[in-house]
Chain A
């Protein structure tokens, strides 16, 4: 690896956070359909920080993003942006806040989130017009500036989204978000529709934007391995609760929550040297019945290490500096997991490298 560790030093936390999500609950739907999608979510994001938000489908990642930009209302708690509470704003003030474009969303599938009939120039300039910019020359100047920041050539200016490649389209969505000179970008699965090379390109671009513009960026992703490449902090959501939040290098080196560990063990890899197999972190029929109850830990029903204490939801507690975890058994589960059966079909590679395989095929792991 010739990698220059980007941002090896974490952004300082001695200034006030740019965004503070304070004990936010979000309820979607009404009456019997009402579902509490986020519970007591506490999250602070400082200027110039890249935060990776991970979790499975339905864990509330997108709802959290929508709540931050004011598209969903918290049922409890509040959202403070740059010192000013924004979740309590009323209609007109809320619209004005949104129009200013200080927080911008970038969506997963640019083919569906960009208007297919508009040209790139119109898409990128639209936010400025909505904000009230009327000087066409100024709009054009800013559009060109935004395209330059994402490394797009002016030749795409008059193309529609259907005429450019997938990677270029995602860069257009980022340029669109940058046009209003936001202070924070929230990217909802920005790379999952892209193949590996374009994925890395976009993530690298986000890293560069942070460095050059001092943006705070939240990246929602399920690809933990790529997040390791750019994020400073990782926040793990499970069923609407934050279960782990900490510096990406520390969390990925030794996760303290069994769900984070399961996510990491399940991530596909060309190496086969995982410390824990997914099997060691899943419940099996041999485990005692799951801990359940109205107040039980959100992960207890899936957790093979759940004990009596887990019948009460653990609070997010600081374990080390900026690292916090919500798990009653954070000190014990690691040893228990190692003692469990690695189980299941062995990885394909382990089978292939069975005795009798020519020594020639033995992997030399570090060549890449």
Chain B
């Protein structure tokens, strides 16, 4: 099936949600959906600190992208926000607040009330999150019946509406198909339909487009933008691909070795990156350049997860590093409107490309 039309039927938009809900003012506490403050998460039963002081916030109707290399702590942050930390991992310090309420100490049962109805999630491999032998439609209807208490007929009807809303062309047909009969793109749409079925305030998408073909990836990105516009859905989007993140996100948070090194409006991050690591990431990203060019790499390897490093964690790979970088912990500084950088030389207008060319 070709999926070209992504129209979302307006009649199932959540009551009371208005497009453009987000306020761009500095004080956005009122519409903050997710707020993470000074989060520290240990792994291997406390042996290593994989996340060291992450702070971020997501407002209603805002798409925030987390980007960084594998092992930088993006996924762990997501899982903390979802309350599904893997075994051996624990929150050591800091808070995660969902819609103003601290959820760090919630019991599993409390979390279950949030899951689905307030927070939805989509992951990289949709096929492994669906039961292979049950039709996709009944898996969605089951969620609606359990979470919203809908009757059999009402659940069926709403499931079809949702399949239509995520751009599946023949909802009735898809309803009766099992996961193996759907393509990757269709499965990911079905997963998104399930994730948004109970009108959550927040959608967590962890590498949700990574395994898809580029044409399908572009369609899923458009779908997420549309859902945000029509429902005021907030999205926490994780990807290792900076290009994908900038296609979609309003704000970008750059992770390196368990810390946020830079965060700010996506356009600003892309056009005026201040942290040497962000600049390096931009040089290696697929910048949409189809001309023949030299493929660049970031020299060196990221530190071991949880390694104790005095000073800046990127200093060992940074062409702009000076002795002050290794002297002590680096605090984030504000360099523009909502644009933060964790770099000793934030004020020096460092340009990694020039330094590397020298």
Contact = CB atoms under 8 A, between A and B. Distances in A.
Given A269-B247, A348-B225, A349-B266, A226 B295 contact: yes
A363 B271 contact: yes
Contacts of B128: none
A285 B5 contact: yes
A277 to B, nearest CB: 9
A226 B286 contact: yes
Contacts of B219: 278
Interface in B258-302: 265-268, 270-271, 279-298, 301
Contact of B184 (A6, A57, A274, A368): A57
B286 A269 contact: yes
Contacts of A167: 301
A4 to B, nearest CB: 6
A266 B70 CA distance: 24
A99 interface: no
Contact of B296 (A166, A200, A223, A263): A200
Contacts of A367: 271
Contacts of B280: 197
A348 B246 contact: yes
A349 to B, nearest CB: 5
Nearest to A367: B271
Given A4-B294, A267-B286, A166 B70 contact: yes
A339 interface: no
Given A201-B297, A262-B215, A266-B214, A196 B292 contact: no
B217 A8 contact: no
Given A266-B214, A348-B249, A348-B266, A196 B288 contact: no
Interface stretch (A136-144, A178-186, A247-255, A327-335): A247-255
Interface stretch (B27-35, B153-161, B235-243, B319-327): B235-243
Contacts of A301: 2
Contacts of B183: 57-58
B4 interface: yes
Contacts of A266: 214-215, 217-218
A274 B250 CA distance: 20
Interface residues of A, number: 68
Which of B222, B280, B292 has the most A CB atoms < 10 Å from its CB? B292
B217 A348 contact: no
A229 B283 contact: no
A28 to B, nearest CB: 17
Nearest to B246: A270
A166 B250 CA distance: 31
Interface string A53-79: 000111000000000000000000000
Contacts of A166: 70
B222 A225 contact: no
Contact of A2 (B229, B271, B294): B294
Nearest to A267: B214
Nearest to A231: B292
B63 to A, nearest CB: 7
Nearest to B271: A363
Interface in A257-286: 262-271, 273-274, 278, 282-285
A345 interface: yes
A195 B74 CA distance: 13
Interface in B159-179: none
Given A264-B290, A266-B218, A364-B271, 8 more contacts: A56-B213, A197-B69, A249-B291, A269-B289, A348-B249, A349-B270, A361-B265, A363-B267
Interface of A: 1-6, 8, 56-58, 165-167, 195-201, 203-204, 207, 222-226, 228-230, 248-249, 252-253, 262-271, 273-274, 278, 282-285, 301-302, 344-345, 347-349, 352-353, 361-365, 367-368
